[in-house]
Structure formats: structure tokens, C-alpha cells
Structure 1
Amino acid sequence: MARFLVTGGAGYVGSHTVLALVERGDEVVVLDDLSQGHRAAVPPGVELIVEDIANRERLHEVFAAWRFDGVLHFAARSLVGESMREPLLYIAENVSNTLRVAEAAIKSGCNRFVLSSTAALFGTPDRIPIDEDSKLAPLSPYGESKLMAERGLEWAQQIHGLNWAALRYFNAAGADPQGRLGEDHDPETHLIPLTINAALGRGPELTVFGDTYDTIDGTAVRDYVHVTDLADAHLRILDRLAAGLSGRYNVGNGTGYSVLQVIQAVERISGRKVPYRIGPPRAGDPPVLVASHARLRHDTGWTPKYPMLDDIVRTAWNWRSANLAGFAESGGTSEKR
């Protein structure tokens, strides 16, 4: 049995990955300041340490006390729009906090590190589907901060021998198929939960940003990858790092769906109409963003178990409709400060 630290493990992708680790028999410790995560999203029996990873002294204490076999680093600021208003905050926090965690790992002898990265590194892609060799040209401070973090980890590999991987997510979506976990952000910025909230009457009318793109129906096309498939990718990469094999990987479904197709899927699954209006396109929004996951499949055997849009939407709908208020902030975890 291995022991892993998951920073940001009370958040959306982090909590689903924690659940996957626990289910395969690993021991997990979650470090999260709960600014974006939820106490109730941490599975029962998992140690939750409520702390800011910017606290360097405390971070080193945690690593010294637990002796981890690897780290999965999810904790970060991740709103593109906010990063355009607060660029220095995003770059300072995302880069420095990533490197603080890496430093603590290296000093404790922990040499497996997985970074939650982003497809925002690619900006407007030079080809579709987007592979790992596509041009890196972030259009936001958020994307830039993740690219800088990757570069820092590459230096840590060269100088300190840190085995690391960056998983560049496209659009994480869906919820645990058994209904134990789901997506609950405040504010919510992701299309599928926004569409579901509109259908439930628990959010504003949905705005579709542009309907004149050169796509199947004029609306933007994006790659939605089920969060359970994302969690599976993390476990496979951890095993690869144990063999000393570092790398960067795009994690996407490999199939694109338009905004209108998402709306139609929510209407099919829910049996409700989605109120929406067409708004102007957003500056810098590419018409199509679809991933190639060929490298991940080749190196780990990973393929998405939930590639169909209806299956992704169904799990998201089932969780949200059963948890209208999101996560109830209650007990159920072991916590120490």
C-alpha cells in the first residue's frame, strides 16, 4: 500500500481522484484550505489537514510526519476570467505554491509529483486535435502560470531527480457514477453545471457566447472528459512515475461537442427545457478545442470509460438534482490542524 498527499483534494477533480486512490487500497492525506473545496467531499476515513499550502513551515512538517510515496497537486487558482483581472496574483500563487510543494517533496525524499495542469497552455491551437507537441501560447495569466509551474518542475527533475508529470486537462465534467461526489463551485463557470442549474431553475438563463463559428451548429465546440476518467489517468500516471518515467499528457475525451449539443443533452436527460439566449462571442475563444489523448493511451493504456456526452451529462444531472444545495458542509472526515 502506498501513501499519497493530495493538495486540493477537497475540490472537484481532487476529491474524485482521492476516491479512486482509496478504492484501490492506497492511503491518502488531503491538504486543503477549503477556500474552494468542501469538507464533505473528502471520503470518510481520509485524513484532512486544513492548511494553506503557502505555509512553508507547516508544509515541511506534513511531509516529515507522513513520508509520502507521491504527491498529486491540485490546489491552485483556476478561473481564467479572474486571472485576467488579477494576473500577478495568479502567477505568484500558482507558480510559487507549486514549487513550495515540490521543494517539500524533494527534501523529504518523495520523488513522484503529478501536476494538475491545463489545456489553457495552448491558447488558440495551431492544429486539431491538440497533441502535446502543439504550440504553447497561453492567452491568460492562468495558462501562463501553469506553463511556468511545468518549467519549474522540469528543472527540479534535471537537478534533483524529481519524477513528475503534468496532466493537461481539457474540460472536466460529470460526477461520480455512484452519486457520491459531484461538481459544486462558487461561482460556477463550467458549461454543463451552468446548463443543469438553468434547467433546474436554480441559476440564471444560460448565455451562449456566439453562434456564428464555423462548427456543426455555429456554437463553440469543446472536449469534455469525465471526471472519473480523469481520476483514472492520475492513478495510471502515478504508476508510470514509480518506474521513473516522467512526461506531459493531454487528458481529453478526443471528441468535441458544441454548446447547443450540451444544451440538448441536458434537455434529453432532465426532461426539462433549458432557458438560454445567444450572446456575442467572447474575445479569444477559439471555435474548436479537442484533445488528442494518443500519448496517454500509448504510454498507460488509458481510454475514457465515459466518452459519450449523454453519459457525462447524466452523472452530472443525477448528482446535482439529488444535491440541490451542493455539498452540505458537515463532519465525516478526520481533521487535524
Structure 2
Amino acid sequence: MRPLGRKKVARSAAVWLGVALSAVCAWLLVRGTRAGEVRAALAEAQLFWLVPVTSLLLLAFVLRAERWRSLYAPGRRPPLRDVTRALYVGYLFNAILPLRAGEAARIVALDRRGGAPIAETTATVVVERLFDVLSLLLLLFLMLPWLPVLTWTAAASALAAVLVVALAAAVTALALSAERLAAAAVRGVARLPGLTEDRVAAPAERVLRGLAGLRTVRTALVAFGLTTLSWLVVGLGYWLLMRAFEIELSPLSGLLVVIAIGLAMILPSSPAALGVFEGATVLALAAYGVDESAALSYALVLHALSVVPFLLLAPAILPAYRGALRRAQRVPATASAAPDSPART
């Protein structure tokens, strides 16, 4: 089988795995809840809480846009307006396509509107995702003394250990010999058919620039601080929404829901992580003894608040990105570095 054929098969398998996982989660949720109680909880929800919750989620979105922008080296940061629009495109495509295809879409969208080279932007997205997971795990371990007993703490600890070791190794390697590593990578990639060192060198340099979040202490601290602040704002919003369903828990419960959903997003899933999102929410609330039907009602509204606003804005924003998004279909959803125009610096 040709490499292109193998790649297509692998992506199809990942899509079906994600759909299957979402279906299993949905089945488990439906099996453990009572439809009548879910409908009753939705009907009795105090909808005025949606206003402050939506405002907090909007604030968190702006913070995450600024966080993404801060991961670029000073002097190379795109305008916040372009970054915010590209991030919106990413959220929208994650909502309507599987395998987090929005990551590729926002990379190409920022290249189209903000002039940020694809290779450099891809590197910032990789660092961003690393900071996301590390921040969630840090918050989890700081909260543990005040949380109920969790069945998945051991798995989270193992993930944290792996990520910390990987991050330490990456930072050390970049600090000691970033240029040598880049040169070695260029020589290795240049051995592939149809590639030369001259053709690969420019994208490799841009990837190195995009790793400013790992190479510069100030950049890393600012980006990690904004990451953590955005999670805290989201957690506050999630907690306020619980009040709409008369789920009386501490503010830490909102953060626990954020952490559970954030870690669950590592798994492949269907568009908008249907089933997986709700399953993670119900699992987090189960630690507090919240009834599954009430938890599912809350999860459904929470998921709608996380998706519907982006769908409503699509007709106003997407036309400007039509050409760029067609290009995004040719960019791997894993956000791997892709060569861009040699003219870009």
C-alpha cells in the first residue's frame, strides 16, 4: 500500500474509533439515566444563569486567544484580532468535524489573515496543547486535598509524570543545542525523496521560532499563566451553571468538571466530542454524589453553551476564510509542521 493510502486508512480508522467511543459514552449515559427526569431538570433550569456563564466563557475565549498570541516570540506576534478570529475558526471546526480538525483549520486561517507562517504557528499550537494539559494536571493536584475520592487520580498522575519528563527533556535539549537539533532534523528530512536541505531549512527555522514558549522563560511564564487563568475563568462559569440546576457544590466542583473534560479531549471522538463531553461531566459530578439524570441535564446545557455560539457566528465570519479552509483539508489535523512558502520569514 502506498504511503498516501496508508495515511488515509489510518485517518479513517481514527475517525471510526472516535465515533465508536462517542457512541459507547452516549449509550452508557442513556442506560444510567431516566429520560423523564432529564427533561424535568431541563424544564426547571433557571435560565437567567446563562447570561453570566456565557460572559465568563467569552472572557475565557479572549484569554486563550491572547495566550496563543503570547506563544510567538516578541516582535513576531500576529494582531490579536487575527488570532481571535483564527481561534474561532478552530473552535467551530472542532465542533463540526472529528479528530480535532479545527487545529489544522485555525493554523491555516491565521496564515491566511494574519500572515503567520504555518510551520511557526504549528509549533505554537503544539506548545499550547502541552501547556493546557500540564495546567489542568497542576490544578488537579493542588485541589486534591479538598476533592472527594477520585477513581482516575492514578491515571492522571501517570500522565503528569510522563508529560513533566517529556517537557523537561524538551526544554533541556532546546536550551543546550536547539540549532544543532534543528540542523540534524533538516539533514534527516532532506533524505526523503523530493526534498533538499535548502527546501527544508526555512520551515525548520520557523518551527524553532514557534517553540519560543519552551525556549524563553518569560514567554513560557506568561503563556502558562494565561492558560491557568483561562481554566479558572471557565471553572467559575461551569460552577455558576450548576446553580441553574440547583446543584449546590463548592466552586472547586466547576474546576473538576473542567479538568475531566479537558483530559477527556485527549481521546479521539466524534464532532464536538458528543458523548465524551457529557460522559466526562457526569463522571466528575458523580464524585460528589450528584444524580446521573441531573448531571446529564447540566452536561447537555453546558455542551450547548460551548458549541452553539460558534455555530451562530459562522455565517458572519467564515466567508472571509473560504479559501484558507479549503487548504486546511490538506493540513494534518495532528498539527504537524508543514512546509510553507520559502519567501516567508
> TM-score, structure 1 length as denominator?
0.29
Q: What is the TM-score when the length of structure 2 is the normalising length?
A: 0.28
Larger RCO, structures 1/2 (Cα 8 Å, 6+ apart): 2
Higher helix share: 2
Instruction: Determine which structure has more spread, i.e. the larger CA radius of gyration.
Output: 2
